[in-house]
Structure 1
Amino acid sequence: IAGFQIPQSFEHLDGISVAEWVNQGFPQGLYDLYFLPFAKSSLNSPDILSAGELLQFFHFYFFGNPEGLAFSGTKDDMGTGLVQPIVTAIQQQENQIITEATVNQINYDQGKINSLNFQQGNSQNAVPFWVEKNQLLSNNEVEYYGAGDRVFIAATNSQEAMSLTCTHQGCTVSKQDDGTFLCPCHGALYNEKGEVLEGPAKRNLPHYKIEQKNNNSVQLIALNPVTLEKTTTMEADYYVIATDVPGVKQLWGLIKGNNNDQIYQKITQQINQLAVADPFAVARFWFDRDFAWEHSDFSSLSGYKLTDSITLYHHIQQQFIDWAKRTGGSVVELHAYCYKETEFPTQEALLTTFEQELLEIVPELVDANCLHRELVNQKNFSGYPPNSYQQRPETRTEIDNLFLAGDWVKMPFPCGLMERAVSSGLLAANEILNQEGLQRRTILTVTPEGLLKI
């Protein structure tokens, strides 16, 4: 822990999982207190997380913070406190941010990205996409694809699929015994065709055509795509793909041109082997009363079947502080950093368990009224399984004007998660500056080893 060297530490520890590493004699009490919560906070389950990655995370966060494993939080929501100031800063430099853009082709030739084509608008479009089959939910009559809040259903041997994402606030609806579909979050009800029967949803569930199909996945395209006004072609000197793992896989599949050269094939192999972790879930509840709380307003938890942490938003973020002052209520959020789909196959199961465990954690809420609840449930976070480090792509690719950024790239110094994503973006920017003959930015990281050198 006190010394982490790249690549030596990965050569020694990347071949085993955290669970296997602990079984070699690591003190169980220390593991339960620090390493298990920390491993799960990487959104990777210990049984599929590389021991090398865990020790890199721990080394980076423990040695990179003067308070150890204590962190500061924003006083406003992420959009207000972080995203919007970044947007404003970019626009003040007379740069452009294009929102609601769907890339439909990336043009590649002679070892270089020449341009990309995109359409703008959030309506259903004619760009196909792949979704993996959900083996846990599928049966002889219907097949399910996707996970979390992005699930599709199709009758066996049908050429059409339907989205199960509620058009109200994005929860996943579940099929009932009478053939209808019910939203577990706010009660919207759809008939067997996905047409709204009862609110609060206003729009029907969208349908998709099955373009291609194999044993493990299906390619879908909007059944009735909205034809947008135009396709825009953008040409640039450099391109940086900075997305999550499903995003980079989707974009890479849209590259057209000389796709048979060795450079393209090598990067394709690296991107295809990128893993996605177990799904995570976040449930936020609004209650009509407050309660006494003697712990930190953000606290990690251990020993619960689903819940890994609790946050009291009416104590830390201004909009919820103001709401609590007006109403006397409380806003509580529970996190499940990574859970097994075999144990919680539906969002209804997630919400039920979250509510049960919240009442165990805060018994004072047993008689409170829940005024509102929201659920975020996704399966798109980067996976760090054993033996994956060596095959990860780096920020600089062998395509001269293409760079990669994200928490899934191979980095030359210890870092992880959001900090790895940011640092990889800075490395990409430095590569572009270097190619333009400009000075590169200094990037700071933690000392690789030595307690007295921190």
Structure 2
Amino acid sequence: MRDRKRVRFAAPAGAPRVPEPKRVAVVGGGIAGLTAATALAERGVTVELFEREPYWGGRVGGWTTKLPDGSTVGMSRGFHAFFRQYYNLRALLARADVELRPVTDYPLLDEHGHTDTFRGLPRTPPWNAFGFALRSSTFTLSGLRKVNMRAALSLVDVRVPESYEQLDTENAADFLARIRFPEAARHLAFDVFSRSFFASPQRLSAAELAVMFHLYFLGSAEGLLFDVPREPFHTLWTPVTDRLAALGARLHPATPVTAVEPGFAVHTADASYEVDGVVLALEIPALRELVAASPLGPPEWRDQIAAQETAPPFLVRRLWLDRPVRADRPPFLATGGLPPLDNISVLDRYDADAAAWAARSGGSVVELHAYAAADRETTGKELLARLHAIYPETQQATIVGDREEWRADCPLFAPGTYFRRPAVATPVPGLALAGDGVRADLPVALMERAATTGWLAANRLLAGWGTAGHPLTTVPVRGRFGPLRALARLR
């Protein structure tokens, strides 16, 4: 954590541990659930942690699969970047000594073959943005002259939640068109960000895009490079769950919760658990289903949960090839304007399991992502064609193993929905929500929003029992530059 302007929110005050025995059910074993469970268990709460899958980590979890050559290898739902401004997620990982390794660069490739990188850029805004623009062939002087600077000031005057009040009704595509960024620059500087939310710019809130740009670029001096786990995802969360067990938590993998009754009684297919509090840390489809099956909360809150939308499907295709890709290929390549491909990962460059397979076989492990995809079969074929065009050496490779993950369970941050998203606090005393689809009113996103809401959900329950919560850290909650903020408010 190098950014001296990062903001630390003090832990809510209270006793160091719960003054009398308390039991809480945390439903969902992804990042949000693991964080909430850790926060509660550290304060002496007995945690019952339920997860419907046989593995932990949710969308950042993994499992093993067997290839036709007899190899047992790791599989997951796709690549994830652990950015250095993910302070609250890293607080969870640090407790369990989970190791991350740096990715020194990730190029951005557009449809014209232009490549931009983040290697060697200054960390501190605005010099990082100036350096990127000056070095990039997509930000030409003539193009930059056309930019609507008054509209662009929204990107340097980000405030949460005020920016949502100003921009949430507009979609990201119209917002970027209003700013008049050059088209090629939009693909590289913004579309890549937009599609990280599993939605096209036409279906993403302009406010969400602005806050995301603040989090990763204009609001943070941590830089836009990131780290990745040394361990594959199917073992990544073991230190976290081992620590939870040592703190007295009871872990229930492969155990879906079927209903929650007020009071609280948590039901599974085989048992019921009487608890003092509940954290629902679920993906949007599972949250809708569980609330619909449970007599919890007033009708308006239940309707709010039922109305939450999911983003379009995404496809992850992982290939085990019989020969290596070229040595100069980066571990991670983002693409813009090359649908349906959004990125290519060469897993054996950083994943221990993939590296071991590549060393044994002499091959390589390559992963392709398509966000906001329309058709599974067509998308899979087009991804392979894009790989062959971008990395021609793969055309002659034999596919030793081929696995696909087609999912549609990420939250959709559509225009006009921010103030209709469910919050951590609920109208049911003792019940809290957590997850990346839950509103936090802080400049966080993706995995960091999941972790942040996990801490917040635990803090809310702990406060009700007079017990100290946990501190939070974020990037600055408003734009870093006072004169530019003042100028933006004169628009």
What TM-score do you get using the length of structure 1 for normalisation? 0.69
The answer to whether residue 75 in structure 2 is matched with residue 75 in structure 1 is no
Deviation at 1:432, TM superposition (A): 1.3
Q: Secondary structure at the match of 1:444?
A: strand
**Residues 213-247 of structure 1: CA distance to partner in whole angstroms, max 9, x if unpaired?**
xxxxxxxxxxxxxxxxxx31111111000010001
The answer to whether residue 243 in structure 2 is matched with residue 89 in structure 1 is yes
Structure with the higher strand share, 1 or 2: 1
Q: In structure 2, how many angstroms separate the alpha carbons of the residues matched to 1:356 and 1:269?
A: 43
Q: Tell me which residue corresponds to 2:254.
A: 100
Deviation at 1:293, TM superposition (A): 4.3
Q: In structure 2, how many angstroms separate the alpha carbons of the residues matched to 1:367 and 1:294?
A: 18
The answer to whether residue 366 in structure 2 is matched with residue 365 in structure 1 is no
Q: Tell me which residue corresponds to 2:350.
A: 316
The answer to whether residue 436 in structure 2 is matched with residue 407 in structure 1 is yes
Residue among 386, 410, 413 paired with 1:384: 413
Structure with the higher helix share, 1 or 2: 2
Deviation at 1:62, TM superposition (A): 2.4
Give yes or no for contact 1:3–1:448 (8 Å, CA) kept in 2.
Answer: no
Q: In structure 2, how many angstroms separate the alpha carbons of the residues matched to 1:4 and 1:267?
A: 29
Q: In structure 2, how many angstroms separate the alpha carbons of the residues matched to 1:54 and 1:284?
A: 28
**Residues 85-136 of structure 1: CA distance to partner in whole angstroms, max 9, x if unpaired?**
111111011210112213233213xxxx4212112xxxxxxxxxxxxxxxxx
The answer to whether residue 164 in structure 2 is matched with residue 10 in structure 1 is yes
**Residues 415-448 of structure 1: CA distance to partner in whole angstroms, max 9, x if unpaired?**
1111101100100111111111111211111112
Give yes or no for contact 1:63–1:446 (8 Å, CA) kept in 2.
Answer: no
Q: Tell me which residue corresponds to 1:212.
A: none
- For 1:423, give the aligned amino acid: T
Q: Secondary structure at the match of 1:90?
A: helix
Q: In structure 2, how many angstroms separate the alpha carbons of the residues matched to 1:60 and 1:70?
A: 13
Residue among 264, 267, 290 paired with 1:117: 267
The answer to whether residue 212 in structure 2 is matched with residue 57 in structure 1 is yes
Give yes or no for contact 1:10–1:52 (8 Å, CA) kept in 2.
Answer: yes
The answer to whether residue 71 in structure 2 is matched with residue 32 in structure 1 is no
Q: In structure 2, how many angstroms separate the alpha carbons of the residues matched to 1:6 and 1:368?
A: 49
The answer to whether residue 390 in structure 2 is matched with residue 236 in structure 1 is no
- For 1:246, give the aligned amino acid: P
Q: In structure 2, how many angstroms separate the alpha carbons of the residues matched to 1:357 and 1:386?
A: 31
Q: Tell me which residue corresponds to 1:268.
A: 302
Deviation at 1:63, TM superposition (A): 5.3
- For 1:240, give the aligned amino acid: V
Q: Secondary structure at the match of 1:418?
A: helix
Q: Tell me which residue corresponds to 1:304.
A: 338
Give yes or no for contact 2:316–2:367 (8 Å, CA) kept in 1.
Answer: yes
Q: In structure 1, how many angstroms separate the alpha carbons of the residues matched to 2:211 and 2:285?
A: 24
Q: Tell me which residue corresponds to 2:25.
A: none
Give yes or no for contact 2:349–2:355 (8 Å, CA) kept in 1.
Answer: yes
Change (3 A) 1:63 1:115: farther
The answer to whether residue 283 in structure 2 is matched with residue 252 in structure 1 is no
1:208-227 paired onto structure 2 within 5 Å = none
299-308 or 395-404, which moves further after superposition? 299-308
Q: In structure 2, how many angstroms separate the alpha carbons of the residues matched to 1:86 and 1:402?
A: 24
Q: In structure 2, how many angstroms separate the alpha carbons of the residues matched to 1:234 and 1:93?
A: 19
Give yes or no for contact 1:2–1:59 (8 Å, CA) kept in 2.
Answer: yes
Deviation at 1:64, TM superposition (A): 6.6
Q: In structure 1, how many angstroms separate the alpha carbons of the residues matched to 2:427 and 2:317?
A: 42
Q: In structure 2, how many angstroms separate the alpha carbons of the residues matched to 1:325 and 1:382?
A: 38
Q: In structure 1, how many angstroms separate the alpha carbons of the residues matched to 2:180 and 2:303?
A: 35
Unaligned runs of 5+ in 2: 1-154, 483-491
Q: Secondary structure at the match of 2:202?
A: coil
Q: In structure 1, how many angstroms separate the alpha carbons of the residues matched to 2:308 and 2:280?
A: 15
Q: Tell me which residue corresponds to 1:282.
A: 316
Give yes or no for contact 2:219–2:475 (8 Å, CA) kept in 1.
Answer: yes
Change (3 A) 1:63 1:87: farther
Q: Secondary structure at the match of 2:326?
A: coil
Count how many residue pairs are aligned between Structure 1 and Structure 2.
327
Q: In structure 2, how many angstroms separate the alpha carbons of the residues matched to 1:45 and 1:361?
A: 22
Q: In structure 1, how many angstroms separate the alpha carbons of the residues matched to 2:441 and 2:395?
A: 50
Deviation at 1:67, TM superposition (A): 4.6
- For 1:116, give the aligned amino acid: V
Q: In structure 1, how many angstroms separate the alpha carbons of the residues matched to 2:259 and 2:436?
A: 24
**Residues 295-337 of structure 1: CA distance to partner in whole angstroms, max 9, x if unpaired?**
4311101232211101001111112212212221011001112
Q: Secondary structure at the match of 2:444?
A: coil
- For 1:3, give the aligned amino acid: D
Residue among 456, 461, 464 paired with 1:432: 461
290-299 or 301-310, which moves further after superposition? 290-299
Residue among 294, 305, 318 paired with 2:328: 294
Q: Secondary structure at the match of 2:420?
A: coil
**Residues 142-173 of structure 1: CA distance to partner in whole angstroms, max 9, x if unpaired?**
xxxxxxxxxxxxxxxxxxxxxxxxxxxxxxxx
Q: Tell me which residue corresponds to 1:356.
A: 385
**Residues 67-94 of structure 1: CA distance to partner in whole angstroms, max 9, x if unpaired?**
522111111211212x211111110112
Q: In structure 2, how many angstroms separate the alpha carbons of the residues matched to 1:416 and 1:452?
A: 22
What TM-score do you get using the length of structure 2 for normalisation? 0.64
Q: In structure 1, how many angstroms separate the alpha carbons of the residues matched to 2:437 and 2:479?
A: 27
